[in-house]
Each structure stands twice: as C-alpha cells, then as structure tokens.
Amino acid sequence: MNADVVILGAGAAGLMCAIEAGKRGRKVVVLEKAKKAGKKILISGGGRCNFTNLYTESESYLSPNTHFHKSALSRYTQWDFIALMEKHHLQWTEKTLGQLFCDQKAVAVVDMLLDECRQAGVTIVLDSVVEKIEFNKNYAITTQTQKVSTESLVIATGGPSIPKMGATDFGLQVAKQFAMKSNSFKPALVPFTFPQDDIDRYFKDLSGLSLDAIVMCNGVSFRGGMLITHRGISGPVALQVSSYWHQGDELVINLLPEVDAVGVLLEAQQTRGRAALKTVLTELLPRRFAERLANTLLDIELAELTLGEIKQSDLKQFAVLLNHWSLQPSGTEGMRTAEVCTGGVDVNGLSSKTMESTKQTGLYFIGETVDVTGWLGGYNFQWAWSSGWAAGQCV
C-alpha cells in the first residue's frame, strides 16, 4: 500500500493530524495497535474528557525549550477546538480553573474526530502493530499484515504512562533509530508516595481525607485540593507539582493558604488561653488531621494542652510548620497511574512550526511523544490538538 502520509497512533494528536492532512487532499493512513481509536481520550476526565482549558498559555507547559510550543499553541488555540465541538453540536461544562469537560462524555469527542477523519478520507487501520520501519527515500512501515510506503511519517504514539492500555516508549525508539536526541520519560501528574515511617506518623487511618493546600517544589507552587491516600498524597495540587519533582526533592506544604498560622495561634493564646490547641486547630483543619498534627509535629502531646499551657516559642514553631511543612516523598505511584509523562523527543531537534525532524526529512513527532508536558486540566489535550494540527498543515 502507498500513502502520502502514515501516522502511527490514533490518539488525540494522531487523529487531529490525520484530519488536517486529509483536508489538504493527502492520502492518509493511520496505524493503531489497539482495537479501537482514542483509548486514552475515552478514559480521560473520568470518561468526560477534559478536552482543553480556557486559560491555555505557554507558561502552563514544561519543556527544555520554553519557546518551542508557543508556535503551535498560538496557531491552533483552545477556541479553535471549541469551534470544532460547536460544529458537531457538542456541549461542555467549565469546572475548576477553566477546565472544559464534554457534556456528552468522552465517547462523543472520539466520535467527532472519527467523523472528521471519514469526511477527510482518512484510512484508519486498527489492531495494527508496527514491526519495522525502514527508510530509503521513502518510509516503509511493516506491520504483521501489510507494508505501507510513504513520504511523510508521523509518530503520535504518546508516552508510556498507563501501560495497562498498551502505552510504551515506542516514539523514543523511533527517534533513536534515526539518531535523534530524546529525554527519558518520567511519570508526571502522578500521586506521591512516602516512607512507611511518615505514613504511620502523619497519614495512617486518614486515607480519603482532603483539604485545600499550597504545595511547593523547585520554585513552583500550586494551590488546590490535596488528598491523603494510604501511600501518601494525591489530589490536583499534588499531581500538578509532581511534574516538577525529582527524586530526593522536598515538598513544602502550606496547610492553611488563607491563614497566617503564627498570628492566629498567638492571638488565640492571648484571648482563648483556656482553649485546647486541638480545639482551635479543628476550626482551621479537618478534625482528625488537626489532632494528628498537634500530636506529631513537635513530638509532644500538644493536642491535650490548653493554649495557655504551651510555651509561646513551641506554639510559634508549630504554627510555622502549618504554613511551611517540609516532607520528602520516597517516590511516586509511577507510570501505572501517571496521567502523562515528562520527557520525550528533544524539541531542539524539531521544527516548532511543522513538528518535522530537523535532521530527518519527512519524519514528524507530535503530542505526548514530544518533550512538552502541560499542567493538569486539559492542557495536554490542547497540546495534542495544536501539535497535530501544525504537522497536518505540511505533511
């Protein structure tokens, strides 16, 4: 079989690229190893697909080159994808911080993309595992059932997060074959795990408890829900900061984002000296967590003392910890639960306008395969749409 464009991967980026190339009259073949297209789209957002974010901007992405992603994001924006949704009469709901979810659920988004592919004359071959890629003027892609020849090859195979869905680092293998630089994938948007001693001391029997917090790491901070798990912490704020965390780094957690804990507790000591510390804390934090912190952060039974019985220096030290609590994770939950990955094909080897390799003519990388990672909240889907669209204009 001959084609003008072969795209490996029928995910968000691959389907968008196929649609745009097909609109230009190109003969497009998409090879997908799974038995259905858009598998990651289907499970995203709890099945509702957080398809973009109203506040998408370049600062919401991590990449070795902080300018690389600006071109694609500016040329195919969140408003362009919203217009596509409107064309197909799909509605959405805005949730926290500009996150848009499809009211008709994720399956409707996949159906929309597949409908666009049909209209553009795109051929999608499912259950098609690539066994070999060769290059001699054109690319020859061998699967278990056929061989396809093409002048343009697009790698849209994503990263290795959620391996139970068949995710691998295939894209990096292709980059290596063509002597392109890449950066190892690392789990991102993923819960933290902690040493068992810390679990026993701070979190035991508190799994499922959530609170509003600010979590900081490596000069970056996020505010949002923090969820205690049986192995550590999760929730939007933990997932966000995990993309910036490296093994051995500490997290600094502000448990009371709206409160100057030192000022509040010292004032309470003066005006409510006969009140127990744990009583005051439960006005600020979930009761069980407040009692646990009072009992552990200074290794004395502060929870059983009245504010008037506590040394001012001890109370101040404790209060500081409520706004600046340092913890060192032992790791993360890993690829098994990571929503995306950092790492990928090095952007400095790609054209920011076309997503084509600067050293291998006709070879393109898009979506999560590229070393561009967005924040939680629809940003990674927008990168998939934008990078796929950009490549689709020129393949």
Whole-number Å distance between alpha carbons of 153 and 132: 13
Q: What is the mean pLDDT of residues 4-10?
A: 98
d(CA 176, CA 169): 11
* Segment 40-67 mean pLDDT: 94
Q: What is the mean pLDDT of residues 15-39?
A: 97
How many C-beta atoms lie closer than 10 Å to residue 198's C-beta?
Answer: 17
Neighbours of 352 (CB within 10 A): 16
Helix (H) or strand (E) holding 335: none
Give start-end residues of each CATH 2.40.30.10 domain in the chain: 192-332
Helix, strand or coil for residue 132?
strand
Measured CA to CA, the distance from residue 198 to residue 24 in angstroms comes to: 57
Query: In whole angstroms, what is the distance from residue 278 CA to residue 293 CA?
Result: 9
Tokens 């666009």 belong to residue: 116
Q: What is the pLDDT of residues 216-231, one digit of tens each?
A: 999 999 999 999 999 9
C-alpha to C-alpha distances, 194 to 230, 242, 344, nearest whole angstrom: 10, 13, 27
**What is the structure's pLDDT at 164?**
80
Q: What is the pLDDT of residue 166?
A: 81
Bridge partners (DSSP) of residue 94 are: 100
- What's the mean pLDDT in 302-316? 84
Asked if the model's pLDDT at residue 295 lies above 90, the reply is no
Unique residue bearing structure tokens 């592919």:
117
- For residue 41, the one-letter residue type is I
2-187+341-392 has which CATH code?
A: 3.50.50.60
- CATH 3.50.50.60: which residues of the chain? 2-187+341-392
Instruction: Enter the DSSP assignment of 280.
Output: H
Among the ranges given (164-178, 223-237, 374-388), the one the predictor scored with the smallest mean pLDDT: 164-178
In this structure, how many other beta carbons lie within 10 angstroms of the beta carbon of residue 359?
12
Are the CB atoms for 302 and 295 separated by under 8 Å?
yes
Please give the helix or strand (H or E) that residue 313 lies within, else none. Answer: helix 312-323
The first and second tokens of residue 239, run together, are 């997932």
What gap in Å lies between CA 269 and CA 275, rounded to an integer?
A: 8
Integer angstrom CA distances of residue 58 from 67, 77, 126, 385: 8, 11, 34, 14
Average pLDDT, the chain: 94
As a whole number, mean pLDDT of residues 40-46 equals 91
Helix, strand or coil for residue 270? helix
Residue type, 336: R
Copy the structure tokens of residue 203.
């979190």
pLDDT value at residue 350:
98
Could you read off the pLDDT of 82-96 as tens digits, one per residue? 999 999 999 999 998
Q: Which two tokens stand for residue 131?
A: 């066994």
Q: What's the sign of the alpha-carbon dihedral 387, 388, 393, 394?
A: positive
The CATH topology of domain 192-332 is: Elongation Factor Tu (Ef-tu); domain 3 (2.40.30)
What was the pLDDT predicted at 120?
98
Q: Is the pLDDT of residue 299 over 60?
A: no
